[in-house]
C-alpha cells in the first residue's frame, strides 16, 4: 500500500511540474533576453562589471560589443582573485563551490558555482525525472534501489570555498526522498581508484533490487561488464526491475549498441547534458531524440556558427536566430559569474518549438588537417549507419589524420577497439568511408580530388583504451578520451595497443 501511494504521489508531482514548464518552453527567446539584463544588473558593481561598463549596457548588442568571448584563460585572472577569497569579482558574493576539472593548457580549472547557480544543478536532474515519469505515466522505479556512479563527494577547501568534482558536489544535494534508496554507500563513493571503486560497487549492488542507474556511458559499460563477467548473466537478468538509465557527460549514441547488448532487455534511457558550468538540457521525451534546452535555469545562451568559431568577426546568435540542423559553438553567461564563456561544446538544434538540441562535438575535437573539418557528430552518425549495414560491436575509437604516409596519399586513420568485429572488415571500411563522405562534402571533395585516399582502420586489442587511460592516470572520474584529433599526439600513444 505504501509503495502504491509513493508511486502515485510521484506521478502527480511529475505532471504538475511538467505543466509548470510550458511557459518557459513557449517564451524562451524573450525570457532569455530578460535573464541577460537581470544578470548584468546583478553584477554591475563587480570588478568584471565595472571593467566592462555594465551600467552602459541596454541591448544584447551592447553586451556583445563590451564583453568578448572568453575561455578559461581569459577569466583566470578574475578566478584567481576569487580563489583568494575576494568578493564582488565575477559575481557579488564568493562562490558556494568550485567545481574542479582537469584542463590541458590551464592545468586544473576552478569553475565557480554560486548559491544561485547550485540549485539549478539539482533541479535539472529532478526535472528530467519528472518529465520521464509524466510521459511514462509510471514511477515504479521510486520503490527500488537507485545508483549514481559519480566522483568522490569528499571536498577540500580553497580559501574557505568548498572544492571538488561536480558529481561529488551534487552528492551533497541529493533530495532526502532519494537518499533512503540510494547506492553505493558513502564510504564506497569516497574511493578514488576507479577499478577498486567499481569492484566495491558491484559487491554492494549485485543482489539489490536496482530500478534506476545513472552515470556517464563509459562508466556504465565498465560497471555492467564487471557484473556480467562475475555472474555470467545479462543486466536485465540480474536486475529484472531495472526501469531507467540516466546518462550524461558524453553522447550516448556511440555506446547504444554495446549498452543494449549488456542489458539484454528493455530499459528506458534518458539523456542529460550537465557540466560544471551548469545543467543545460535533458531528454524531455524519452521516446524521441533531442534534449530540451533549459532556458530558465540562470544561463543566457549564445551560439556561434561552427564555421565562424575563433574568427574575430564571428556572429553571436541568440535563441531567436538559430536554425535547425546547423552546428553552433555554445557560449554561456551564467548566474555564477561566467561571462560570454566558451564551454567548448558544439550543439545542433533538432527543434525550435520547444528548443531541443543534440551535442554534436567539441570545438577542439575535430579533424581538419586537410581542411575538411570533420566533427564528432558526422563521425558518430557515419559509424552508426555502417554498423547497421555490417553488424559489429565497437567499444571505443579514435580518429587521427595520417599526414606523412610514406609512398602513398595521406588518409584518416581510425583506431578501433572492437567487441565483435564485422564479418568483412574491408566492406565495413569501404562503407564507413562512403557514409562519412555523404556527411561531409569537404572530405568527399578531398577523396574525389585524390588529395586523400580512403580511410583505414587499425584494430586495437581488447581493453586498449582503458589500459591507455590507466597508464595516464585518467581511468574513470570525469576523464574522457577524445574521439577526434587534428594531430597524432594521442594516436602515437595508443598505436602500441594494435592488435
- Structure confidence by residue, pLDDT tens digits, 63-95: 999 999 999 999 999 999 999 989 999 999 999
Tens digit of pLDDT for each residue in 440-461?
Answer: 888 998 999 888 999 999 999 9
For residue 4, the model assigns a pLDDT of 53
Query: What single string gives the DSSP state of each residue in 329-388?
Result: EEEEEETTS--SEEEEEEEEEEEETTEEEEEEEETTBEE-TTS--EEHHHHHHHHHHHHH
Compute the mean pLDDT over every residue in the chain, rounded to the nearest whole number: 90
Residue 5 pLDDT exceeds 70: no
**Cell 505504501 found at:** 2
Owner of C-alpha cell 583568494: 84
Decide which of 411 and 470 is more confident.
Answer: 411
pLDDT digits (tens, 9 = 90+) for 179-220: 678 889 889 988 888 888 889 999 999 999 999 999 888 889
Cα separation, 395 vs 460, in Å, equals 10
Q: How many residues does the chain have?
A: 499
DSSP code at position 112:
E
What pLDDT, on the 0 to 100 scale, is given for residue 233? 95
- Compute CA 133 distance to the chain's CA centroid, rounded to the nearest angstrom: 22
pLDDT digits (tens, 9 = 90+) for 357-406: 998 877 777 788 888 888 887 898 899 999 999 999 998 999 999 988 88
pLDDT at position 63 is 98
pLDDT band at residue 479 under the 50/70/90 scheme: low
pLDDT value of residue 116? 96
pLDDT at 29: 93
Give the DSSP letter of residue 465.
Answer: H
Q: Is 94 exposed, middle or buried (0-12, 13-18, 19+ CB in 10 A)?
A: buried
> How much is the pLDDT for 216?
85
Task: Measure the CA–CA gap between 89 and 46, rounded to whole angstroms.
Answer: 5
Q: What does the pLDDT average to over 325-331?
A: 94
Say which range, 93-97, 277-281, 319-323, 365-369, has the weakest mean pLDDT: 365-369
Return the higher-pLDDT residue of 181 and 131.
131
- Model pLDDT, residue 376: 81
- pLDDT score for 460: 95
For 253-275, how does the pLDDT look when each residue is reduced to its tens digit (9 = 90+)? Answer: 778 888 999 999 999 999 999 99
Q: Which residue has the higher pLDDT, 457 or 103?
A: 457
CB atoms within 10 A of CB 5: 9
Phi, psi of 21 (to 5 degrees): -85, -10
- Could you report the per-residue pLDDT of 132-160, keeping only the tens digit for each? 999 999 888 988 999 988 888 889 999 89
Q: Long-range contacts made by residues 256-260, C-beta under 8 angstroms, separation at least 24? A: 257/387, 257/393, 257/394, 258/221, 258/393, 258/394, 258/395, 258/419, 259/217, 259/220, 259/221, 259/224
- Cβ neighbours of residue 51 closer than 8 Å, sequence gap 6 or more: none
306 in Cβ contact with 375 (< 8 Å):
yes
Give bridge partners of residue 498 from the DSSP assignment.
460
What number of other Cβ atoms are within 10 A of residue 379's Cβ? 26
**What pTM did the predictor assign?**
0.81
pLDDT of residue 26: 87
Q: Give the pLDDT band (50/70/90) at residue 1.
A: very low
Amino acid at each position: 500500500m505504501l509503495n502504491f501511494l509513493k508511486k502515485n504521489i510521484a506521478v502527480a508531482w511529475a505532471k504538475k511540474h511538467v505543466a509548470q514548464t510550458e511557459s518557459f518552453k513557449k517564451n524562451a527567446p524573450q525570457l532569455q533576453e530578460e535573464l541577460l539584463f537581470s544578470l548584468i544588473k546583478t553584477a554591475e558593481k563587480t570588478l568584471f562589471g565595472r571593467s566592462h561598463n555594465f551600467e552602459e549596457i541596454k541591448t544584447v548588442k551592447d553586451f556583445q560589443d563590451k564583453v568578448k568571448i572568453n575561455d578559461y584563460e581569459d577569466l583566470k585572472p578574475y578566478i584567481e582573485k576569487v580563489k583568494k577569497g575576494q568578493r564582488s569579482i565575477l559575481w557579488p558574493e564568493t562562490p558556494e563551490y568550485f567545481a574542479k576539472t582537469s584542463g590541458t593548457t590551464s592545468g586544473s580549472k576552478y569553475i565557480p558555482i554560486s548559491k544561485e547557480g547550485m540549485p539549478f544543478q539539482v533541479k535539472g536532474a529532478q526535472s528530467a525525472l519528472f518529465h520521464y515519469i509524466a510521459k511514462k505515466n509510471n514511477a515504479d522505479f521510486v520503490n527500488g534501489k537507485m545508483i549514481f556512479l559519480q566522483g568522490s563527494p569528499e571536498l577540500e577547501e580553497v580559501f574557505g570555498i568548498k572544492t571538488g568534482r561536480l558529481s561529488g558536489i551534487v552528492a551533497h544535494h541529493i533530495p532526502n526522498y532519494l537518499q533512503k534508496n540510494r547506492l553505493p554507500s558513502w564510504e564506497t563513493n569516497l574511493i578514488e581508484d576507479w577499478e577498486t571503486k567499481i569492484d566495491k560497487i558491484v559487491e554492494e549492488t549485485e543482489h539489490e533490487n536496482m530500478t534506476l542507474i545513472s552515470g556517464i556511458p563509459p562508466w556504465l559499460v565498465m560497471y555492467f561488464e564487471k557484473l556480467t563477467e562475475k555472474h555470467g548473466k545479462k543486466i536485465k537478468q540480474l536486475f529484472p526491475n531495472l526501469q531507467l538509465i540516466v546518462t550524461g557527460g558524453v553522447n550516448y549514441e556511440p555506446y547504444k549498441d554495446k549498452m543494449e547488448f549488456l542489458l539484454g532487455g528493455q530499459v528506458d534511457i534518458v539523456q542529460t547534458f550537465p557540466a560544471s558550468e551548469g545543467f543545460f538540457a535533458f531528454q524531455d521525451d524519452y521516446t524521441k531524440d533531442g534534449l530540451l534546452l533549459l532556458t530558465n535555469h540562470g544561463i543566457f545562451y549564445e551560439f556561434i556558427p561552427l564555421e565562424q568559431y575563433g574568427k574575430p568577426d564571428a556572429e553571436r546568435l541568440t535563441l531567436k536566430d538559430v536554425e535547425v540542423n546547423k552546428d553552433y559553438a555554445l557560449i554561456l553567461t551564467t548566474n555564477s559569474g561566467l561571462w560570454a564563456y566558451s564551454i567548448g561544446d558544439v550543439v545542433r538544434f533538432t527543434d525550435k518549438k520547444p528548443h531541443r538540441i543534440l551535442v554534436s562535438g567539441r570545438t577542439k575535437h575535430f579533424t581538419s588537417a586537410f581542411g575538411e573539418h570533420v566533427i564528432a557528430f558526422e563521425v558518430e552518425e557515419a559509424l552508426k549507419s555502417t554498423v547497421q549495414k555490417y553488424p559489429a560491436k565497437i567499444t571505443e575509437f579514435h580518429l587521427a589524420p595520417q599526414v606523412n604516409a610514406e609512398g602513398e596519399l595521406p588518409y584518416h586513420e581510425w583506431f578501433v577497439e572492437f567487441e565483435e568485429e564485422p564479418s568483412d572488415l574491408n566492406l565495413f571500411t569501404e562503407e564507413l568511408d562512403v557514409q562519412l563522405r555523404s556527411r561531409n562534402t569537404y572530405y568527399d571533395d578531398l577523396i574525389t580530388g585524390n588529395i586523400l585516399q580512403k580511410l583505414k582502420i587499425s584494430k586495437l586489442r581488447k581493453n586498449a583504451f582503458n589500459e591507455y587511460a590507466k597508464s595516464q592516470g585518467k581511468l574513470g572520474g570525469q576523464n574522457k578520451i577524445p574521439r577526434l584529433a587534428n594531430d597524432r599526439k594521442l594516436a602515437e600513444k595508443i598505436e602500441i595497443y594494435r592488435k
